[in-house]
Amino acid sequence: MIEIKNLSKSFDSLIVLDKVNFCIDEGNLVVVLGPSGTGKSVLLKSMLGLLPVDDGEVFFDGKSIQAAREREVYEIRKQVGFVFQGTALFDSMNVAENISLPLREHTAMSSKEIMERVCHLLEVVGMAGKAGQYPESLSGGMKRLVAMARALALKPKYLFYDEPTTGLDPIMTDKVVDLMKDLKSRYANSGIVVTHDLQTARAVGDQIYMLKRGRINKLTKIEKELYD
Ligand SMILES: Nc1ncnc2c1ncn2[C@@H]1O[C@H](COP(=O)(O)OP(=O)(O)OP(=O)(O)O)[C@@H](O)[C@H]1O
Ligand SMILES: [Mg+2]
């Protein structure tokens, strides 16, 4: 379970998060909706301690990441698979090398074990046989799938998605959404999805919140209809 308590973050006079409170229960995917520039990426980075916050805390299974020592922060982050906005794949590495990066950094697995895991992950995301390709030869949607495979490499308890379907055509959007649902039921991952896309929010969200002017509110049924 992840609890976000009174999280606040400003950049000079710009208030991005203003006492944000919500919870991610076990097995739930929470969606935070908001237009561009509202602070969705700042929220995700703040939750992982990648950005220092001004106030508030984020508790992972009762442990505050803000109060944690460096070593504990590192242990918490290992439980989180992060699908970054725009994928953040390394262009100089092929698909297999990109996916195996966290395994090489954080585990003592042999090259053979790593390759087996990479092949398995590629199958899970529907990209079997693409291990040797370089990111530049992949479509935006395919890159997103590879980024998802990389996020899964360390068998995370939680998944964080930053704009997973932005910029994708409807077919690829459906594919990514189906995979997100599939991963959740297969591994019972909990997590958070930030997006400005209501269709994606509706398709994957167990709870939907709206981030607006630093404040977060649960989207009611009526608001969901109005948003259409
Ligand atoms: N490191 C930073 N220094 C100063 N301002 C920042 C920094 N990071 C983000 N901001 C500002 O905080 C606000 C929220 O940014 P953020 O990237 O979280 O938006 P977003 O909701 O993710 O937008 P998008 O949908 O375009 O990805 C923006 O006004 C942005 O300019
Ligand atoms: Mg963003």
Distance 51 CA to ligand 1 centre (A): 12
Is there an atom of ligand 1 within 6 Å of 36 CB?
A: yes
| pLDDT at 14 (0 to 100) | 95
**Which residue, by CA, sits nearest to atom 31 of ligand 1?**
37
Ligand 1 atom closest to residue 211's alpha carbon, by position in its atom list: 21
**Which residue, by CA, sits nearest to atom 5 of ligand 1?**
11
| Average pLDDT estimate for 162-175 | 93
Q: pLDDT digits over 79-117, tens only?
A: 999 998 887 899 999 999 999 999 999 999 999 999 999
Distance 181 CA to ligand 1 centre (A): 28
Ligand 1 atom closest to residue 42's alpha carbon, by position in its atom list: 18
Q: pLDDT digits over 180-213, tens only?
A: 999 998 887 899 999 999 999 999 999 999 999 9
Measured in residues, the chain has a length of 228
**Which residue, by CA, sits nearest to atom 9 of ligand 1?**
42
Distance 140 CA to ligand 1 centre (A): 22
Distance 109 CA to ligand 2 centre (A): 33
Tokens of 165: 């379907």
Residue-range domains of the chain with CATH? 2-79+156-227 (3.40.50.300)
Burial state string for 61-100 with b = 16 or more CB within 10 A and e = fewer than 16: eeebbbebeeeebeebbbebbbbbbebebeeeebbbbbbb
Is there an atom of ligand 1 within 6 Å of 40 CB?
A: yes
Q: pLDDT digits over 12-35, tens only?
A: 999 999 999 999 999 999 999 998
Other beta carbons less than 10 A from residue 20's beta carbon = 25
| pLDDT at 34 (0 to 100) | 92
pLDDT above 60 for 228: no
Ligand 1 atom closest to residue 36's alpha carbon, by position in its atom list: 25
pLDDT above 70 for 225: no
pLDDT above 60 for 39: yes
| pLDDT at 224 (0 to 100) | 61
pLDDT band at 227 (very low <50, low <70, confident <90, very high): low
Full-prediction pTM beyond 0.85? yes
| pLDDT at 19 (0 to 100) | 97
| pLDDT at 21 (0 to 100) | 97
